[in-house]
Amino acid sequence: MMFPKIDAAVFETPAGVQYLREPGVVMIAMPSVDLSGMDSFLGNFAPELEYQGYLDDPTDLPPAETLCKAAGQLCYMSFGPRRTMNKDAVGYFGNIKESKHGSVLEHANFTFLLYGISRSLTHELVRHRAGFGFSQVSQRYVGGKMLRFVERPEYAAVPALHEVFVHRADRFAREYEAMTTALADLQAAGEAAIMSAEQRTDRRKKVRQAARSLLPNETEAPIIVTANVRSWRHFLEMRASEHAETEIRRLATQVHACLREAAPLLFADYTVKRLPDGTEAVSTPYQKV
Ligand SMILES: Cc1cc2nc3c(=O)[nH]c(=O)nc-3n(C[C@H](O)[C@H](O)[C@H](O)COP(=O)(O)OP(=O)(O)OC[C@H]3O[C@@H](n4cnc5c(N)ncnc54)[C@H](O)[C@@H]3O)c2cc1C
C-alpha cells in the first residue's frame, strides 16, 4: 500500500541553484495495528458480555481508526456486538469529537517528510509542542551542495519579483560559498582561536555554523515531523485556518489532504474552503478535541 504524498517540483536558476515553489508532503509512517492478541483478555470476561465478538467485526477500519476506537472502547469496556461495531464508527468518532474525549486520538501517530518549505515556515511549525517530534536539517552539519531556496507564491506569480528572487537565490548561494571558503581559510591559517577544532567534522561545523548566519528566511528547511492525531488536528486548526500565514497554510492543507486519505473518519469533519485570494483554508466545528 502506497502512503499518501504530494510531491513538489524542483526548479533551477540559470546558475544551477535549486529552488522549490510549493511544499512536498510525504507520509512515511502510520500505525500498524493487530487487535487479535486481545482475545485472551476479552475471553476471560463473562460470556454473556459477548466480548469475543469484538474481534470478529466484519467491517474493516483503517489502522488509526481501529487503534483509537479500541482505546476509546477500553475506557468503558464497551466491546462486542452489543456495543458500537465498526460499521457505526462514523457516529462513534463524532461522539468522541463532540464530547472532547480527544485523549483517545493520541494513540495514533503519523509521520511526514516535509520539504520545499522555508526556514520561516519551520520556525512556526516547531512552536507546536504537545505530541510533536521534529528532526530538521542541521545547517551546522549540512553544507552548500544541499542548499535550496523556496520561492513564495507572491513572487512566483509576478515575473519581475520572480527575477529578483532568482538573482537573490544565486547571490545567497555565492555569498554562502564565499563565506565558507573565507572561514575555512581563516581556520587553516590558525589565526582565529574561535574557529579552531581537533576533529575534521568539528572544523567543518565551525565554518558552517558561522556561514549560515547570512542565509535568508527563504532557505529550504526539510524536516521530518511525527505527531499524534489529536496534535495534528490542533495543528490544522491553527495553521490551515484562514488567519494563518500563506505558506504554512498551504502546507497544512496538504497535510490535511494526506491525513484524510489515510484516516478518513478522524479528519472527515474538516471542510476545505476556497478563499477570495485563490488559496484554501480548512475548518471544523470540533475545535481542539
Ligand atoms: C495566526 C497565528 C499568529 C501567531 N503569531 C505569533 C506571534 O506573533 N508571536 C509568537 O510568539 N507566536 C505566534 N504564534 C504562535 C502561537 O502563539 C503558538 O505558539 C503556536 O500556534 C502553537 O500553538 P499551541 O501552543 O496551541 O500548540 P502546542 O504547543 O502544540 O500545544 C497544544 C496545546 O497544548 C496545551 N499546552 C501546550 N504547552 C502548554 C504549556 N506549557 N502550558 C499549558 N498548556 C500547554 C495548550 O492547550 C495548547 O494549545 C502565532 C500562531 C498563529 C496560528
| pLDDT above 90 for 143 | no
Residues 6+ apart with CB under 8 A from 214: 172, 175, 176, 179
CB 43, CB 51: distance < 8 Å: yes
User: What is the distance in A from the centroid of ligand 1 to the CA of 75?
Assistant: 29
pLDDT at site 274 = 97
Mean pLDDT (the chain, rounded) = 96
Report the run of H or E that residue 277 belongs to, with start and end.
none
pLDDT reading at 1 higher than 80: no
> Whole-angstrom Cα distance, residue 164 to residue 176?
18
Expressed in angstroms and rounded, the spacing between residue 223 Cα and the centre of ligand 1 is: 19
pLDDT at 173: 97
Q: pLDDT tens, 75-131?
A: 999 998 889 999 999 999 999 999 999 999 999 999 999 999 999 999 999 999 999
Answer whether 174 contacts ligand 1 (Cβ < 6 A): no
Q: Is 238 in the pocket of ligand 1 (CB under 6 A)?
A: yes
Q: What pLDDT does residue 206 have?
A: 95
Summarize pLDDT for 180-232 with one digit per residue, the tens: 999 999 999 998 899 999 898 999 999 999 999 999 999 999 999 999 999 99
249 lines ligand 1 (CB under 6 A): no
Q: Which atom of ligand 1 is nearest to the CA of 245?
A: 1
Share of the chain above pLDDT 90, in %: 95
Atom 8 in ligand 1: which residue has the minimum CA distance? 124
Burial of residue 89, with CB atoms counted within 10 A of its CB: 0-12 exposed, 13-18 middle, 19 or more buried: buried
Q: Whose CA is nearest to atom 44 of ligand 1?
A: 130
Q: What is the pTM of this model?
A: 0.96
From the CB of residue 12, how many other CB atoms can be counted at a distance below 10 Å? Answer: 12
pLDDT tens across 12-40, in order? Answer: 999 999 999 999 999 999 999 999 999 99
Give how far Cα 45 sits from Cα of 48, 49, 76, 125, 189, Å.
Answer: 9, 7, 14, 46, 77
pLDDT reading at 176 higher than 90 = yes
DSSP 8-state assignment for residue 5: E
Angle formed at CA 104 by CA 230 and CA 30, multiple of 5 degrees: 65
The secondary structure of 130-146 as a DSSP string is TTEEEEE--TTT--GGG
Active site residues: 239
Residues 158 and 115: their CA atoms lie apart, in Å, by 23
Q: Which residue has the cell 552548500?
A: 144
Rounded-to-integer distance, Cα 57 and Cα 62, Å: 13
Nearest CA to ligand 1 atom 16: 127
User: Three cell numbers at 126?
Assistant: 516547531
